[in-house]
């Protein structure tokens, strides 16, 4: 009898322990008795309660083990005698040129310097560095590429491009999110036109695959608007006409979708995003010069033939809300488009012209640290300060030009002279694409 009474009291005490208190519907589960081991169990008693925002709080029970926290206690710090937050504050200030060496120190450093947190912190604190990436085609048709560090003025080696692009023709190139360089489409010498897309991550220094385009195309036009990659026109092997189709890649959704078709099929020769619209100029199927403009807000293409198109030359760039174009072969004179008069006018002259040979020809204009950079086929680079929109050609603007890379100038002169003596013509190599990546 005494034993049965004790058993009954024990059962009553056990029920009391798991009895849920009366709590508000806006209360969290951390206020429910810890005898309820799970959220599912808590819902049986408090169906309207919300999940606790601090699930680790269990005043009447042991805290759950956190393997990550325990591991951080046992592993060595990033820097001796410093907490990790101070160590990271030191490491983000190391110049980008040394990051490859930092990754070799230990696994923790490698993990840190290949993650997004490290580089997003550098960017937020204004420490991210911009490098120029140049993709070249050699005389034998091979594709190679190099990166230029404007701070130390050094050319850096890079991992080879994927094999399908080692000899490809007519492929596109664009940058998304500031640090991902995409190669897309083009013509493989063996497999013909491609839909393939690959991208290079400047943070990890590695190549990756991306979803293929919806159409095979080569010599297409491309642009980046709101961090989405737009591709239009071009040609497809086996089709004896230019393409009208266009498509867009959204990296957030990781997929391609078709957009409105162009009015006329075109092989774009020059393109730029200016005032939120994408302008293209190229050749149609009859090899006639045509031009169109795409408005993302309406998803419509329309033909355009005004002063902007008629005087537009390559290379060109839209920078700080203004449209600039080259006014000479070596890019040492600039022109600017004037909306008010719908015409191009001479803007700036370096007063130091390099020549009109193919090796000295300006291959691209890019934005580098807020300035306009002129990239030439001989790998020389000049920076131009175009921050003052009121400047005119009559002003003394020569001091606003700065040469940051003179690589190849003497060598190119000697090789051109030798080629002339030997009766050979043609450029040893030329630039196919040029982009700027920030890390």
Together in a domain, 320 and 429:
yes
Together in a domain, 351 and 385:
yes
Instruction: Dump pLDDT digits (tens) for 8-43.
Output: 555 555 544 444 444 333 334 334 344 444 444 444
Together in a domain, 315 and 262:
no
Instruction: Dump pLDDT digits (tens) for 297-355.
Output: 999 999 998 899 988 999 999 999 999 999 999 999 999 999 999 999 999 999 888 88
CB-count burial class (<10 Å; 0-12, 13-18, 19+) for 298? exposed
Number of domains composing the chain:
4
* Residue 67 belongs to some domain of the structure: no
What CATH number does the domain containing 275 carry? 2.120.10.80
Which of 254, 270, 305 terminates a domain? The answer is 305
Together in a domain, 408 and 317:
yes
286: containing domain: 159-305
Q: In terms of pTM, does the model score above 0.75? A: yes
Together in a domain, 334 and 388:
yes
* Residue 281 belongs to some domain of the structure: yes
- Ranges 47-56, 191-200, 286-295, 357-366: which has the least confidence: 47-56
* Residue 66 belongs to some domain of the structure: no
* Residue 59 belongs to some domain of the structure: no
Together in a domain, 282 and 263:
yes
Q: What is the pLDDT at residue 428?
A: 72
Together in a domain, 118 and 238:
no
* Residue 415 belongs to some domain of the structure: yes
* Residue 294 belongs to some domain of the structure: yes
Mean confidence (pLDDT) of the chain? 83
Together in a domain, 135 and 110:
no
Q: What is the pLDDT at residue 429?
A: 86
Together in a domain, 362 and 421:
yes
* Buried-exposed string 33-68: b where 16+ CB fall within 10 A, e elsewhere: eeebeeeeebeebbeebeebeeeeeeeeeeeeeeee
* Residue 319 belongs to some domain of the structure: yes
Chain centroid offset of residue 57 CA = 42
Which of 265, 284, 305 terminates a domain? The answer is 305
List 140's β-bridge partners, or say none.
none
**CA–CA gap between residue 79 and residue 105 (Å, rounded):** 11
CB within 8 Å of 268: residues ≥ 6 apart: 219, 220, 221, 232, 233, 234, 280, 281, 282
CA-closest candidate to residue 275, choices 321, 229, 222, 230: 321
What CATH number does the domain containing 88 carry? 1.20.1280.50
Instruction: Dump pLDDT digits (tens) for 228-246.
Output: 999 999 999 876 679 999 9
Q: What is the pLDDT at residue 387?
A: 86
Together in a domain, 289 and 316:
no
Instruction: Dump pLDDT digits (tens) for 151-160.
Output: 999 999 999 9
CB within 8 Å of 160: residues ≥ 6 apart: 144, 166
Supply the angle between the helices 116-124 and 84-91 in degrees, to the nearest 10: 70
* Residue 298 belongs to some domain of the structure: yes
Together in a domain, 237 and 369:
no
Distances (CA, A) of 436 to 148, 176, 208, 211, 375: 9, 11, 19, 23, 11
Residue bearing the bigger pLDDT, 77 or 73: 77
Together in a domain, 244 and 332:
no
């Amino acid at each position: 009898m005494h034993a049965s009474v004790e058993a009954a009291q024990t059962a009553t005490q056990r029920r009391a322990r798991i009895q849920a208190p009366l709590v508000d519907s806006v209360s969290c589960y951390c206020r429910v008795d810890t005898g309820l081991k799970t959220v599912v169990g808590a819902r049986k008693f408090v169906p309207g309660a919300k999940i606790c925002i601090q699930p680790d709080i269990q005043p009447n029970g042991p805290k759950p083990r956190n393997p990550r926290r325990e591991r951080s206690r046992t592993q060595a710090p990033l820097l001796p005698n410093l907490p990790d937050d101070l160590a990271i504050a030191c490491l983000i200030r190391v110049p980008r040129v040394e990051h490859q060496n930092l990754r070799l120190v230990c696994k923790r450093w490698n993990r840190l310097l290949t993650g997004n947190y490290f580089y997003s912190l550098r960017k937020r604190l204004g420490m991210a560095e911009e490098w120029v990436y140049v993709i070249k085609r050699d005389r034998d048709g091979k594709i190679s590429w190099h990166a230029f560090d404007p701070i130390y003025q050094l050319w850096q080696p890079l991992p080879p491009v994927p094999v399908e692009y080692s000899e490809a023709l007519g492929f596109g190139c664009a940058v998304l999110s500031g640090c991902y360089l995409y190669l897309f489409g083009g013509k493989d010498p063996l497999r013909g036109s491609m839909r393939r897309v690959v991208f290079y991550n400047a943070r990890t220094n590695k190549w990756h695959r991306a979803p293929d385009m919806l159409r095979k195309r080569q010599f297409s036009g491309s642009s980046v608007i709101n961090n989405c990659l737009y591709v239009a026109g071009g040609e497809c092997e086996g089709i004896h006409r230019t393409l009208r189709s266009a498509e867009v890649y959204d990296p957030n959704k990781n997929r391609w979708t078709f957009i409105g078709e162009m009015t006329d099929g075109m092989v774009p020769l020059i393109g730029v995003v200016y005032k939120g619209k994408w302008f293209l100029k190229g050749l149609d199927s009859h090899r006639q010069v045509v031009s169109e403009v795409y408005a993302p807000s309406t998803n419509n293409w329309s033909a355009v033939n005004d002063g902007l198109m008629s005087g537009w030359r390559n290379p060109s760039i839209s920078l700080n809300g203004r449209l600039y174009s080259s006014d000479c072969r070596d890019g040492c004179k600039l022109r600017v488009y004037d909306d008010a008069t719908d015409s191009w006018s001479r803007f700036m002259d370096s007063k130091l012209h390099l020549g009109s040979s193919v090796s000295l020809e300006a291959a691209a204009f890019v934005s580098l640290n807020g300035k306009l950079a002129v990239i030439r086929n001989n790998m020389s680079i000049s920076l131009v300060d175009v921050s003052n929109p009121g400047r005119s050609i009559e002003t003394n603007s020569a001091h606003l030009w700065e040469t940051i890379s003179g690589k190849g100038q003497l060598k190119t002169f000697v090789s051109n002279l030798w080629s002339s003596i030997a009766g050979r013509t043609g450029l040893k190599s030329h630039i196919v694409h040029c982009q700027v990546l920030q890390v």
